[in-house]
Structure formats: C-alpha cells, structure tokens
Amino acid sequence: MIHVIATISLNPGCREKFLEIFRANVPNVLHEDGCLSYEPCIDVECKIVAADPNKITVVESWESLEHLEAHLKAPHMKAYAEKVKDLRNATELKIVEPA
C-alpha cells in the first residue's frame, strides 16, 4: 500500500469552485481499481501552524504504485485537470509507504 499527499496551491479566491469540481470527481476515483481512499482536506485555523486558504491537501491511499500510475492516466482525471487548470498554480506530490 502507498499513500499520496498532494498539496495543491490555488489562485486566490478559487477554493470553493475548485472543491466543487474536485468533489464531483471523487466518486469516479473511489471506483478505480486499487483506490482505498481519496479525500480533499483544508487547513485547520489554529495556533499550532498557519492556515492557508489557498491550499488544498489531498490524502490518498492506493493498493500499489501501479494503481496510482493508472489513476493519473484515467480519462476522468484528464477531464478534471482541464476543468481546474485555471484555478490552480502548482501541485506538489509526496508518495510514501508504511515503514
């Protein structure tokens, strides 16, 4: 099993529109072979760390790296990427596995 932490930097004021498009695609991803979980998260406003309203963190779990690679090529992911291309300005991926 692998986990993916994707940090998506959004253009200011685009969070709600981005989340609307993202959430509409979640059922497609959850039905993909090998997807164990796929969830968008927003920063918690607190004193521990600074919250950034222009970042979304996606937390994912996949059965294998091969399943993740297939996910990234899926037609619904290409359609999603096209819909959000003007809302985001950067994406950082971290792929980890249990130690």
- 10-29 per-residue burial string, b: 16 or more CB within 10 A, e: under 16: beeebbeebeeebeebeebb
Range of the domain at 60: 2-96
Instruction: Compute the chain's Rg from CA coordinates.
Output: 14
pLDDT tens, residue by residue, 27-82: 999 999 999 999 999 999 999 999 999 999 999 999 999 999 999 999 999 999 99
Could you tell me the CATH number of the domain that includes residue 51?
Answer: 3.30.70.100
What is the mean predicted confidence (pLDDT) over 6-30? 98
Give pLDDT, residue 8.
98
Please give the tally of structural domains in the chain. 1
What is the mean predicted confidence (pLDDT) over 11-35? 98
Q: How many helices (H) and strands (E) does the chain have?
A: 3, 4
